[in-house]
Chain A
Amino acid sequence: EAQILESGGDLVQPGGSLRLACVGSDVIFSNYAMSWVRQAPGKGLEWVSGISGYGGSTSYAASVKGRFAISRADSRNTLYLQMNSLRVEDTAVYFCARASCSSTSCPLDFWGQGTLVTVS
């Protein structure tokens, strides 16, 4: 079954760092834009960061800009999110999602089930 699997979620203290990863199984990442989206407890979905299909362009939500960094390793069909200077308000389930084209402004047509990050 085609799927995206996230990993790296954990309990971390404020000010700490985590690196999330997601891997595609029968879901090709290469040439497609990828995004990280999060859902804080009791809240809606928040787009966090995106990277274009050729890796040349990255973008971030204002709430994480300067603290988070998105990257990709297409040879390993893997997407990363390096999260530094974590805050309590970063607590959320983080979803990895593939866009339907190479632009980060495309719909997200394939998602993982998420990984939980708790900052406390």
Chain B
Amino acid sequence: DIQMTQSPSSMSASIGDRVSISCRASQSVSSHLSWYQYQPGKAPKLLIYEASRLKTGAPSRFSGSGSGTDFTLIISSLQPEDFAIYFCQQTYSEPLTFGGGTRVEIK
């Protein structure tokens, strides 16, 4: 199975901050990497797919980059509704695996 490792596991940030979240795969997943936002009690949302493609309707302050084993999610200017848990997921091979999540909290 491909292991996905996210860092940091949690972070505190302020409104307007630029936030960067890392995701590393234990082997190459090419560009088959997605990012999701999860607010407990709500349905998770797909933000980014194929490493860098923004899902239609997702805010443009979210961007993704990387390929192979190293990926990054950037929130260019943190908004109040962005405080959530972010997960990466590889869709390169089954079983599809998720990172452990990064909790973004209010500073």
Chain A positions near chain B (C-beta within 8 angstroms) = 3-4, 35, 37, 44-47, 50, 59, 61-62, 95, 97, 100, 104-114
Contacts and interface: CB of A to CB of B under 8 A. Distances in A.
Interface in B14-52: 32, 34, 36, 38, 41-46, 49-50
Nearest to A39: B38
Interface of B: 1, 32, 34, 36, 38, 41-46, 49-50, 55, 87, 89, 91-101
Contacts of B50: 107
A107 B89 contact: yes
A109 B46 contact: yes
Nearest to B98: A45
B102 to A, nearest CB: 10
The prevalent SS among residues of A at the interface is strand
Nearest to A49: B95
The prevalent SS among residues of B at the interface is loop
A111 B98 contact: no
Contacts of B91: 105-107
Contacts of B44: 45, 95, 97, 108, 111
B103 to A, nearest CB: 11
A44 B43 contact: no
Given A44-B87, A44-B101, A109-B55, A95 B43 contact: yes
Contact of B96 (A44, A47, A113): A47
Contact of A105 (B46, B93, B100, B101): B93
17 contacts: A37-B98, A44-B87, A44-B99, A45-B38, A45-B101, A46-B98, A62-B1, A107-B46, A107-B49, A107-B91, A108-B34, A109-B49, A110-B43, A111-B44, A111-B45, A113-B42, A113-B43
